[in-house]
Amino acid sequence: MKKISVLFLLSPLLLITGCSTTPEQCDPTNTNIGIMDKISCNYSGNYQARIDKKEQILENEKRANAQFREIYATIERQKNSTSSSVKQKQAQLQKLKKELTQLTNEVKQKAKNRDDLQAQVNDIEQQLKKVNNSNSSELEKQVELDKLNKKLQQLQKALNLGK
């Protein structure tokens, strides 16, 4: 009976102790906490509150991680799209260079007997070489090549080579 009365007298103390702990104090890795504090952490629900808080933080971090992965995937898709469009532009530029060279040679053959047109063809050839050897951007080169193409087409019309 004596044990029950002692336990009965200590129960309000345990109840008060249980209410006095906070979730921050109830860190399971804390080895300096006393047995009474551990009991109060367990019975007050502070351990569970701490677990719930950590789980919420983990869920938020998972969502943020998923968003970062999605952003990264979008960047990778844009990067791949850009590199493929750059390759397409380079292929178009090479095709234009080839066509210009062929057209220049054709006009040059047809303009053999005309000195005025031969001078223009030589000028266009020099400009073509200059564009091909320049360090300009692909876009600038394409603009210059388009201008040369128009000049060649005018020469072609002058020689009645029309395509």
What's phi and psi for 43, nearest 5 deg? -80, -25
Mean pLDDT, contiguous 10-residue spans, the chain (163 residues):
62 54 72 77 79 92 92 85 78 81 79 76 82 78 82 76 49
Three-state SS for 26?
coil
How high is the pLDDT of residue 18?
45
In whole angstroms, what separates CA 71 from the centre of its chain?
7
How high is the pLDDT of residue 56?
95
Nearest to 93, CA basis, from 130, 57, 137: 137
Nearest to 138, CA basis, from 102, 88, 77: 88
In whole angstroms, what separates CA 23 from the centre of its chain?
41
How high is the pLDDT of residue 4?
66
How high is the pLDDT of residue 143?
82
